[in-house]
Every structure is written in C-alpha cells, then in structure tokens.
C-alpha cells in the first residue's frame, strides 16, 4: 500500500512539473494562490528543495493534490496517464545514451592500442630550488672540512665555531681578533719548531 502511494506521488509530481513548467498551462504563482500555499512551496512540490547539493521532495497531502487537480480541472485518470509517461525514461534517449557509451568505449580502446607498450623513462625530479641553493651555499664549507686530515679535529673545531656563532656580534669580533692573533703567533713559531733539534747542540 505504501509503495503504491509513493508511486502515485511520483507520478503526480511528474504531471505537475509538465503542467506548470513544460506546458505552462498556468503560472506557479497563480496555482499557489488557488490552493493556499506559497510560490516556493509549490515549486518544491514538482522540483524539490536543494540544500547543500542534495535535492529532497516534501510530502504532498491527498487534500493538496485534490485541490491542485480541481484548480487545473484535470481528472485523476488523465493526471495518472500523463504522469506515468513523464516519469518513465524516454526510450529514444536511452538508446542514444547506450550508443554514445559504446562509441566512447571504442574510442578508448583505440587510444589504448596506440599507447607504447614499453615503459617510458621519466626524467629525474629536479632538486628543490631551496635545497639546491642551500647546497651551493654550504659547498665551500664542505670542501674546507674535507681538507682536514683528522675528521675528529674538524668536528671538534666545528662545535667550537658553532658556539662562537651564537655569541653577540661585539664579543664575536673580540674572539675573532684574539684567535687570529694566536694563529699568527703559531704560524711564526712553526718554522722554529720545525728546525733540526740538534742545531742548538751543533752551535754550542
């Protein structure tokens, strides 16, 4: 029984849509006033309400359907006949859709047959610009570290330099000046230390 009522309501909506929207036998505004509802309510009867992309149809009471048939002077049998025709898909349209689908599948198979069967070598993904610039910036540092004969010494010195880098700018200059002075003294003393240790005895 409920299924029959749902089917009849679907048929009624299809008929009402054709009567008002397609055939334009009466305006929605006029029909709405004749049955005592608003224009949007009448529109929802045959076209539904759309909320966030979802369309839903409100229930149309038997009393309202009877009022609409009386206002449009449409017998119930005529409404059912027209509504069934409108609610059924057009056979011609279905045939056209099936034909078009077959054509699309044939086109896809043809394109697929033309594709190369051997894998295509994809080029290596270019290095991110930021990473590339960072690598270029750090390259001189890496080259200098590689010159160390003792890697552990390089690591130890880098740790010290990292601490110096965090110091205030004014203090950093002071430390830098001190280190350069010490380095200069070491470089001056280096040749003397490298002389023959027996030289002093020979001179004596």
Q: What is the pLDDT of residues 55-79, one digit of tens each?
A: 889 999 999 999 999 999 999 999 9
Is 36 within the bounds of a domain? yes
> Do 9 and 77 share a domain, yes or no?
yes
Instruction: Give residue 160's pLDDT.
Output: 76
Q: Rounded CA gap, 120 and 55, in Å?
A: 46
What pLDDT, on a 0 to 100 scale, did the predictor assign at position 131? 67
Regarding whether 69 and 134 lie in a shared domain, the answer is no
Share of the chain above pLDDT 70, in %: 69
Phi, psi of 55, rounded to the nearest 5 degrees: -100, 130
Mean residue pLDDT across the chain:
77
pTM above 0.85, yes or no: no
Q: Which of 57, 87, 117 is the last residue of a domain?
A: 87
| Domain end among 54, 87, 120 | 87
Identify the H or E element spanning 48: none
CA distances from 112 to 9, 12, 31, 106 (A): 47, 47, 56, 10
Domain C-terminal end among 24, 52, 87: 87
Provide the pLDDT for residue 11.
Answer: 93
The whole-angstrom separation of Cα 8 and Cα 59 is 12
pLDDT tens, residue by residue, 165-177: 777 677 777 777 7
Mark whether 81 and 141 lie in a shared domain: no
Instruction: Classify residue 123: in a domain, yes or no.
Output: no
How confident is the model at residue 170, as a pLDDT?
Answer: 72
**Is residue 134 a part of any domain in this protein?**
yes
Torsion of CA 190, 191, 197, 199, to 10 degrees: -150
pLDDT at 12: 94
Tokens of 22: 């397609």
Same domain, 9 and 76: yes
The answer as to whether 120 is a domain residue is: no
Q: What tokens does 58 get?
A: 């409100």
Site of tokens 């394109």: 111
Asked if residue 187 is part of any domain, the answer here is yes
Q: How many domains does the chain have?
A: 2
Whether residue 82 sits in one domain with residue 24: yes
pLDDT at 204 over 50: no
pLDDT of residue 30: 94
| CATH number, domain containing residue 14 | 1.10.260
Higher pLDDT, 29 or 136: 29
Write out pLDDT tens, residues 133-143.
666 666 666 66
Q: Is 117 inside any structural domain?
A: no
Say whether both 137 and 79 belong to one domain.
no
137 and 82 in one domain? no
pLDDT tens digits for range 192-201: 544 455 544 4
Domain that holds residue 10: 2-87
State the average pLDDT over residues 26-30: 94
C-alpha atoms less than 13 angstroms from C-alpha of 166 in its C-beta half-sphere: 5
Q: How many CA atoms lie within 13 A of 139 on its CB side?
A: 7
Number of other residues whose CB lies within 10 A of the CB of residue 109: 10
Coil, strand, or helix at residue 55? strand
Same domain, 21 and 75: yes
Residue 113, in any domain of the structure: no
């Amino acid at each position: 029984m409920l299924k029959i009522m749902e089917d009849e309501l679907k048929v009624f909506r299809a008929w009402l849509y054709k009567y008002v929207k397609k055939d334009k036998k009466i305006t929605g505004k006029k029909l709405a006033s004749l049955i005592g509802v608003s224009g949007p309510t009448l529109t929802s009867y045959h076209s539904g309400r759309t909320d966030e992309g979802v369309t839903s149809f409100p229930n149309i009471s038997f009393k309202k359907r009877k009022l609409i048939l009386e206002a449009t002077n449409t017998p119930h049998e005529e409404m059912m006949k027209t509504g069934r025709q409108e609610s059924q898909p057009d056979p011609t349209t279905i045939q056209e859709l099936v034909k078009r689908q077959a054509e699309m599948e044939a086109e896809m198979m043809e394109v697929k047959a033309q594709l190369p069967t051997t894998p295509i070598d994809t080029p290596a993904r270019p290095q991110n610009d930021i990473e590339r610039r960072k690598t270029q910036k750090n390259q001189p540092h890496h080259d200098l570290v590689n010159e160390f004969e003792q890697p552990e010494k390089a690591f130890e010195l880098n740790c010290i330099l990292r601490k110096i880098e965090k110091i205030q700018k004014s203090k950093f200059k002071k430390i830098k000046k001190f280190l350069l002075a010490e380095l200069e003294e070491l470089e001056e003393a280096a040749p003397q230390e490298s002389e023959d240790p027996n030289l002093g005895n020979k001179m004596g």
